[in-house]
Amino acid sequence: MGVAFVMGFACGLPLLLTGSVLQAWMREDGVDLSVIGLFALVGLPYTLKFIWAPVLDRFTLPFLGRRRGWMLLAQISLMVSIIWLGFSNPAEDPWLLAGIAFLVTFFSASQDIVVDAYRREDLKDNELGLGSSLYVNGYRIGMLLAGSGGLILADIFDFQMVYLLMALSMLVGVVATLLAKEPDEPEGTPINIREAVVDPFIEYFSRPEAVLILAFILFYKLGDTMAASMTTPFYLDMGYSKSEIGAVAKLFGFWATIIGGLLGGFLILRWGINRSLWIFGGLQAISTAGFAILVWVGHELDWLAAVIAFENLSGGMGTAAYVAFMASITNKKFTATQYALLTSLMGIPRVIASAPTGFLVEAVGWAEFFIICAVIALPGLMLLQRFAPWQSLGEDQREGQ
C-alpha cells in the first residue's frame, strides 16, 4: 500500500511540468500564445502508451526483475529529461523545448505503464480498491507539488532551479523502486513479440462483455468530466472572485477529493468493487446536478463550499472504484498492455467530450448544462447491470484475475 502511494506521487509529479508550469515559463519568456497552445501535443504519449506497452510486457531487463527494472530505467530517464528541460531556453528555441518536453511525457507515460502493471500484480484482488485510492491520492499530491508548488517556487527561484528541484523529488520514486519487492511473475507471460502485441487484445476481446466494458469505461465519468471542464468559468459567471475560487474550489476541493479517495478505498474493501461502482456512480451524478443549485441560490460561499465538497468527495470515491475496476479486469499475463489500453480510453472523454461543453452552455444555460451532465452518467450505470450487477455477491471474481 505504501509503495502504491509513493509510486502515485512519482507518476503525478511530471504531468504538470510539461503543462501549466511550462506554459507559465514560456509566457514569461515571451513565447507566442499560438506556440504555447500547440505544446498540448507533447502530451500524446499519455494517450498512445498502449502502443509500446507490449515491449514492457515481453522483455525483462537484466536487473531488478520484470517490473522494477523498467520502472527504474523510466524514473532515471525521467529525471535526466526534466533536468534537460529546465536548462533549455523557451524563447530561443521553442521547438527544441518541445522535443525535450516530448521525452519527458514519453518517459512519464512509460513509468505509468509499469507502475500500473506492478500495482495490479503486487496487490491481492481484495486490496485493489484501497491500493488504487492510495495511488490516485499520491498522484494528486505529486501534481499539487509540481503545479502549485512549482509556480510558487518560480516566484522565488528561476525556472531552471524549479525543474532541478522537481527532478530531485523523483528520487522518492527511485528509492521506493529499489526497496520494493518484485511481484511474482505469472505463468504464461509472453515469450515473443506476437504474444506480447496480439494475444493481449485477443484475450480481452474474446470475453463476452468486452465491448460493453470499454463503453462503460468511456461513459462512467463522462458527465463528471464534462462538468469539471467548465467549473472555473461557471464560478466566475456566478460572481465569485478569483480568491474565493482559489480558496474554496481549489484548495478546499483538493482535500475533499483526497478524503473521498481514501474513504472510497476503505468502502471498496467492505462492499467490493462492483457494488461500489453503483453507489459512487450514483453519488457522482447527484453531485454534478448539485451545481445547478448554485445557479438558483446565487453568490453564497457556504453553498459553494458544500456543493464542491460533495462533488469532490463523490468524485474521489468514484475514481478509486473506477481505477480498481480497470485493474481487476486485466489478465496478469498482459497487465502492462491491457491496463495501458484501458487507461488510454479513460483519457478520451477528458479531451473529446470536454471540447463542445462551451457551446452546450451557451445553448442551454448553466443549470440545464449541469443537469444534462448528470443525466449523461446514467448510460454508464445502466451498462453495469450487464457485467457488474448489484445482485452479484461474488462480484470481484472476474475473468482475467
308 inside domain: yes
| Three cell numbers, residue 204 | 480481452
Minimal CA–CA distance to 190: which of 58, 44, 380, 56? 58
Predicted pLDDT of residue 354 = 62
Helix locations, 198-247, DSSP H: 199-205, 210-219, 222-228, 231-237, 242-244
Predicted pLDDT of residue 396 = 45
Predicted pLDDT of residue 222 = 82
396 inside domain: no
Predicted pLDDT of residue 14 = 92
In angstroms, the CA 25 to CA 48 distance is 26
One domain, residues 233 and 109: no
Predicted pLDDT of residue 174 = 94
One domain, residues 325 and 238: yes
393 inside domain: no
pLDDT one-digit tens code per residue, 213-267: 888 888 888 888 788 777 777 887 888 776 777 677 666 777 787 888 888 888 8
One domain, residues 166 and 209: no
190 inside domain: no
Predicted pLDDT of residue 109 = 92
Of 132, 154, 185, the last residue of a domain is 185
One domain, residues 145 and 273: no
* Mean pLDDT in order along the chain per 10 residues (401 residues): 90 86 79 70 82 84 88 96 91 86 93 89 80 85 84 84 93 93 75 77 83 84 80 79 70 78 84 87 89 86 86 85 83 79 70 70 87 88 79 45 38
As a residue count, the chain comes to 401
- By the 8 A CB rule, do 381 and 85 touch? no
| Host domain of residue 275 | 199-387
- The count of C-alpha atoms lying within 13 angstroms of the C-alpha of 204, restricted to the half-sphere facing its C-beta, is 27
Minimal CA–CA distance to 281: which of 270, 269, 291, 273? 273
One domain, residues 215 and 143: no
One domain, residues 272 and 382: yes
Predicted pLDDT of residue 33 = 65
194 inside domain: no
One domain, residues 7 and 121: yes
One domain, residues 100 and 235: no
The full 3-state SS of 11-34, as one line of letters, equals HHCCHHHHCHHHHHHHHHCCCCHH
CA torsion sign, 324 to 325 to 331 to 336? negative
pLDDT one-digit tens code per residue, 331-366: 877 777 888 878 777 666 655 666 677 788 888 888
One domain, residues 226 and 375: yes
Counting the structural domains of the chain, the total is: 2
- By the 8 A CB rule, do 168 and 77 touch? no
Of 159, 185, 211, the last residue of a domain is 185
24 inside domain: yes
Question: The domain spanning residue 317 has which CATH number?
Answer: 1.20.1250.20
366 inside domain: yes
- By the 8 A CB rule, do 14 and 82 touch? yes
